[in-house]
Amino acid sequence: MQEARTPAEQEHAKADITISIPRFLEGGNIKFDPAALDKCKDFFEKLSKLTKEASDNAKKTFCRTRPSKLTGNTLNPLQNTDELKNSPSYPSGHTIYGTLMGMVLARMLPEKRDELYARITDYGHSRMIAGVHYRSDIDAGKVLGSAIAADEFAADEDFKNHLPGAMACVREALGLQGQGPAQQSSTPQP
């Protein structure tokens, strides 16, 4: 991947080092009003904390060395490895975040579901392009992010209580009216 990555892929992967809803949407070419989206940040910050907690716990359990830190590797990571010095590779925290946020956004924006699921895949792929994760790190991040999303939708009453307001906020930030097309009873897996 590193040898085949294009300058455009490199720039995209560098931009994806940023973990945020605005970057997630930007990277998927989904237009939004930043000021309007900022009104929703508390809802997404709580979810972000869940991903950080889950990622940190899993990384401490598995302690997998990042590919760029293996002896004899020839990788040229796009992310400053000093930022990652004590962060194991498995699972990908970025992918956990992208999967959870993408699934929540897909529930809020059913008319954008395909773009959001494509972005989930793309967000994780950027971590491999950047040379800081293995494919299995990305796969594990998708599983963990999906599990957190399922738990939030099924069991977190605070999340469920705040979801309608956050949905209205996000839809407004994207310039979409109402609740969107009729939603399916379950969100498909990315």
Residues carrying an active site annotation: 94, 127, 133, 137
Residue 152: phi and psi, rounded to 5, are -60, -45
Structure tokens at 160: 């469920």
Distance CA 177, CA 181 (A): 10
Asked whether the CA dihedral 144, 145, 149, 150 is positive or negative, the reply is negative
Structure tokens at 127: 């971590």
The vertex-25 CA angle with 122 and 101, nearest 5°, equals 75
DSSP calls for 24-91: HHHHTT----HHHHHTTHHHHHHHHHHHHHHHHHHHHHH-PPPGGGSTT-----SS-GGGGTT---SS
